[in-house]
Amino acid sequence: MKNYKIKKVFKLGGLPGYLLFGYYVIQFLFARSKSDMAAVDLSAMIFAAYALGTGLYSFINLSKGLNKHFLLWSFTKSPIKWFGLYTLLCLISALWSPNLVLSAYRAVECIGLLLLNMFCICYLVQRYNFRTIMLWSVTYAFLNLCLTFLAGIIQIDLDYAFYKCQFPSTIFFYLAFYCAPKKYIKYPMMLIAFMCKSVTGYCGMTLGMCSFMFGNKKYRTLGVIIAISTIVAMSTMGTEQFLNNTIFASKGDIIVNGQIDKNKTSGRFKIWENANEMMVHENRQWHGFGFIVGEMIMARELIGEQVIGMHNGFLSAYVGSGYIGLFLFILFMAMVIWLAYRNHIPKEQRQVLIACVCVILVHTYGNPGLGFRVYGTWMPAMFIIMLMIGMEYKSLFLKEKKSKS
């Protein structure tokens, strides 16, 4: 795209786009350490005020004119209806949470930022074609990564900057690969993803390669070449050595004699193995411990102060809101997968979204994000899912319009 200018394209998102990006500006200005994540302090109040304020503003605007149809459609005919019910249950769980204020605050934050993402996508789909929407999205992702990377350098150093970008960079990797209009956007975004040393992210990016099969001949050929090369390498080196030297390279020899070294998994396996036992012991299987609070207590008892959650969206849902919350969250994720593979979205955009959803699924299994509070993969994952829902809505609306004419 010869005439591409970041400022010009980003302006297309209007006020909703600026408000969505504003969340990262607030995070940049009032950054917190992991040890402060449980505190309801001044920074927490600012984050909550921003989420609540922008959420209310988004809801008011979504309730007007043509936006109202998108709002109602999203909460009745898209996967968001299940996530909305799950988040509402999380808010109610504050009533039996050991820390009512923290559970309620985090649930309200989720609701507010869900509505903000929805308003931004609604604004885009009402005004622009599919390619322009994707162009704005990759521009937003690029600015997001730049600010996050800068924050990491200022806070600690370059290595921390790559670490801090592990969630957005890997989720937005295929958005950059397929949609970036310029090399100075595409290659830095992809490089940050490769340098982030996130095993979960690498696994997600690897799974995302299945999107090549849904693209044009060039991408299908590339997919076949990668698949054949991988098979040959695994046959030559052995599966264990291949994985240790590629996806798990940053962890050392994590697979030994076919077994995963649990000491190199950041405590995830220890948390996962003991979570259900603690739920049963406390008789909390049906209603959970309360959103966020229960899993923080459980994780810190098992691992220590440095752990803030279950590192698994499904377990976060189970520990926070019991079987009911887990059921709603599973329905949500299942509907997201189903939506990604439907044929309503144009082929060019569909392969991008399939790839991004693959990364989101792996992150949800191994990192904090959806199912947890607004942290880690939550914001980039929610943006991609709302983008997919917006694309589906626009496709159905255009087909309906054509059939009437």
Half-sphere exposure of 346 (CA within 13 A, CB side): 13
What six digits make up the tokens of 242?
């291949």
pLDDT score recorded for residue 371: 84
Residue 187 structural domain: 6-404
Q: What is the pLDDT of residue 259?
A: 47
Q: Which residue has the tokens 């390498």?
A: 233
Could you list the pLDDT tens digit for every one of the 405 residues in the chain?
A: 678 889 999 999 999 999 999 999 998 888 765 545 555 667 778 888 999 999 999 999 999 988 999 999 999 999 999 999 999 999 999 999 888 888 898 899 999 999 999 999 999 999 999 999 999 999 999 999 999 999 999 988 888 899 889 889 999 999 999 899 999 999 999 999 988 878 788 888 888 887 777 666 666 676 666 666 666 665 565 555 545 554 444 445 444 444 444 454 555 666 767 777 777 777 888 888 888 887 777 766 666 555 667 778 898 898 889 999 999 999 999 999 999 888 788 888 888 898 999 999 888 887 878 888 888 789 999 999 999 999 999 988 866 655 555
pLDDT on residue 236: 63
Query: How high is the pLDDT of residue 257?
Result: 43
- pLDDT at residue 229 in the model: 64
State how many domains the chain has: 1
The amino acid at residue 357 is V
Here the tokens at position 325 are: 């919350």
Amino acid at 152: G
- Burial class of residue 227 (count of CB atoms within 10 Å of its CB; 0-12, 13-18, 19+): middle
Is 80 inside any structural domain?
yes
Query: Is residue 1 assigned to a domain?
Result: no
Report in angstroms the alpha-carbon separations of 219 from 9, 226, 249, 290, 402.
Answer: 27, 10, 27, 45, 31
- 73: in domain: yes
SS (H, E, C) the chain: CCCCCHHHHHHHHHHHHHHHHHHHHHHHHCCCCHHHCCCCCHHHHHHHHHHHHHHHHHHHHHCCHHHHHHHHHHHHHCCHHHHHHHHHHHHHHHHHCCCHHHHHHHHHHHHHHHHHHHHHHHHHHCCCCHHHHHHHHHHHHHHHHHHHHHHHHHHCCHHHHHHHCHHHHHHCHHHHHHHCCCHHHHHHHHHHHHHCCCHHHHHHHHHHHHHHHHCCHHHHHHHHHHHHHHHHHHHHHCHHHHHHCCCCHHHCCCEECCEECHHHCCCHHHHHHHHHHHHHHCCCCCCCCCCCHHHHHHHHHHCCCCCCCCCCHHHHHHHHHHHHHHHHHHHHHHHHHHHHCCCCCCHHHHHHHHHHHHHHHHHHHHCCCECECCCCCHHHHHHHHHHHHHHHHHHHHHHHHHHHC
The tokens describing 99, both together, are 């820390």
| Residue 127 maps to a domain | yes
CA distance 374 to 160: 20
At CA 167, angle to CA 31 and CA 229, rounded to 5? 155
* Beta-carbon contacts of residue 216 (< 8 Å; ≥ 6 apart): none
First to last CA, the chain: 33
